Amino acid sequence: MTRFDGKAARRRGRVVVTAAVAAVVVLGAGLVGCSGGDSGTPGTTGPRRGGTLRIGVTDVASLDPASVSAEPGAATVYGLFSETLVRAEPGTGEPAPGLAARWKADPKQTKFTFTLRRGARFSDGTPVRAADVKATLDRVAAKATASPVAHLLDVVVGYEEARKGSKPGLAGITAPDPSTLVVALRLPLASFPSRLANPGLGILAASSLPKAKTAPVGSGPFRIEGRPEVEVGGRVVFRRSDRRAFLDRVVVRIYASAAAAEKAYAGGDLDVAPLVRDEATPDSALTVPPPSPKVATTTTEPPPPPSGDVVSAPFRAVGYYELNLKNRKFADARFRQAIIRALDERRVATSVYGGRVRAMGGLVPAGVPGGPSERCEGLCDHDPAAARKLLAKAFPGGKVPTVAIDFDESPTQRALARAAVSQLKAVGIPAVLRPHVPKDYANFLVNGKPELFRFGWVADTLTERAFLTPAFLSRAPENVARVGPAGDAAIDAAAKVATPSKRRELYGQAEKAILSQFAVKPLVQLQTRLITSPKVDGLRLDGFGAFDAAAVHLAS
């Protein structure tokens, strides 16, 4: 059996990521007035206990983890009062113990047995039992819940029946005793434990599930105090309920925008605030109207952040340019590769995003096991000289077709498209902008005739598989570039492999097979960026944009 043991993970240590760039909604942390507390054991120099941390967030409309959005602010709030079975290590994305102290898989990778952490309790003092974990996951999968993260359980036996409402609960999840949870899958998936790290699968007490939207009883280090105000301008107060936490309280305030929260931080009202971003996620423009003709179509540098420490980490959102392989214009692979190699991902990261994003060298981003990959080298990395040679071979007569650049209209995406036009023309490829109304863009990609188009992706898990499928699996409906099946076999085989190194080797083969079709140009990975007070210690961001508040403490 494949076994994961928390002790081994702790021996490996952790990676701290504090690079200062960003384009995503992010949180920043700082100090608030201390409200008493002790400084640990007398005569020792450990982290001090006590104090209140004030956090500003955006995009939080519910206290129900099952309704989690893609935004880091929501992930942080849910993490305060609910813990997941598995957590993602900051920096690496590796699965690590959460409520589950350890787990093991059968040789076929279709049955996982999780052993709960001894002494784990809900915020009301009752013990966390396997039956509570099952009830929480059953609710996420239920049709009536309409959870946006329900698909994370789609490989569990009984998922389809639960979604249809024909049978209550997930037949594949059982609790043979209070400390053991067994999950049976209908298909092999060695990376399944990583799915359980998504904040939307935070575990709640079964007795509180009927009131999960307003008064959940969670398994996290803090409990909800008083009457929460989950609305813009409101606040939610959390009180320590786990002795492992250092802070006495955490006060969360909800803002309409990152700019408003940053302003509050500058005014001394917050210790944790999101820094202003270009766009929330690569697909955020799908929800906003196109700018009027008076709106600037180029991005500008944001004002300098207020005084404090900037903490950032890779976020699970990526942006690409893709070519439609079903479009006859791109039948010649040399033409496709010339387009791909004419685009400069590093220049885009600096000129369009002001260096607040990370340039990508492959499909697997940073903060994910096996990432960041650099498999574009020699295939899709920027090389204008190679692009010109390819064009000369593909069009010896010199009549290079004009390429339309499709994008969903927004200031950032227009600036990105204009940069692409300039880079293509520099090697001899004529190009024109073809903007689309944001609300119609997704339908256009699926049913229209896109050429070179903008595509953004926010993965729900921190795994290589999450970034190779569904966007590039040939049978996936989201494969709007119409990438062929060359990488399918390696992706399918990797799901059955228990050994991480062997699994990564297979995913590497799949990634190279996908990139060798010259349909995808990896461009940028977004970042979570926070502004924090210098007196806040122990704040480490994970790939979901959240942090473990139980580890945060205030410096003496």
pLDDT attached to residue 381 = 96
Three-class SS of 170-226:
CCCEEEEECCEEEEEECCCCCCHHHHCCCHHHCCECHHHHHHCCCCCCECCCEEEEC
State mean pLDDT over 376-397: 96
pLDDT of residue 6: 42
Is residue 435 classed as helix, strand or coil in its secondary structure? Answer: strand
Residue 453 pairs in a beta bridge with: 322, 406
- pLDDT band of 48, cuts 50, 70, 90: confident
Angle at 521 between CA 380 and CA 278, to 5 degrees: 135
Is the predicted pLDDT of residue 34 greater than 80, yes or no?
no
Q: 100-105 and 2-5: which strand pairing?
A: antiparallel
Beta bridge partners of 55: 252, 272
> Mind listing the pLDDT tens digit for each residue in 472-489?
999 998 899 999 999 999
Q: Which segments of 46-105 does DSSP mark as H helices, in order? A: 72-81
How confident is residue 20, by pLDDT bands cut at 50, 70 and 90? very low
Q: What are phi and psi of 496, to 5 degrees?
A: -95, -5
State residue 231's pLDDT score. 92
pTM: 0.85
Euclidean distance between CA atoms 482 and 471, whole angstroms: 9
Per residue in 71-95, pLDDT tens? 899 999 999 999 999 999 999 999 9
Question: What is the tens place of the pLDDT at every residue in 51-65?
Answer: 999 999 998 989 999
Query: 313-365 pLDDT, tens per residue?
Result: 999 999 999 999 999 999 999 999 999 999 999 999 999 988 889 999 999 99
**5 has a pLDDT exceeding 80:** no
pLDDT of residue 210: 93
pLDDT in tens, 113-135: 999 999 999 999 999 999 999 99
For the segment 393-447, what is each residue's pLDDT rounded down to a tens digit? Answer: 999 988 999 999 999 999 999 999 999 999 999 999 999 999 999 999 999 999 9
- φ, ψ at 240 (rounded to 5°): -60, 135
| Alpha carbons within 13 A on the beta-carbon side of 8 | 7
**Beta strand pairing status for 235-240 and 249-254?**
antiparallel
The average pLDDT across 254-261 equals 94
Whether residue 284 is predicted with pLDDT greater than 50 in this model: the reply is no
Q: Is 127 exposed, middle or buried (0-12, 13-18, 19+ CB in 10 A)?
A: middle
Domains of the chain as residue ranges with CATH: 2-16+33-270+540-554 (3.40.190.10), 310-527 (3.10.105.10)
Report the chain's mean pLDDT, rounded to a whole number: 87
pLDDT in tens, 293-321: 333 333 344 455 578 889 999 999 999 99
57, two tokens: 């967030």
Higher pLDDT among residues 181 and 23, named by residue = 181
- Inter-helix orientation angle 411-426/333-342, to 10°: 120
What is the phi-psi region of residue 82: left when phi exceeds 0, alpha when psi lies from -120 to 50, beta otherwise? beta
Instruction: Give the model's confidence band at 45: pLDDT under 50 very low, under 70 low, under 90 confident, else very high.
Output: low
Q: What are the pLDDT digits (tens) for 477-525?
A: 889 999 999 999 999 999 999 999 999 999 999 999 999 999 999 999 9
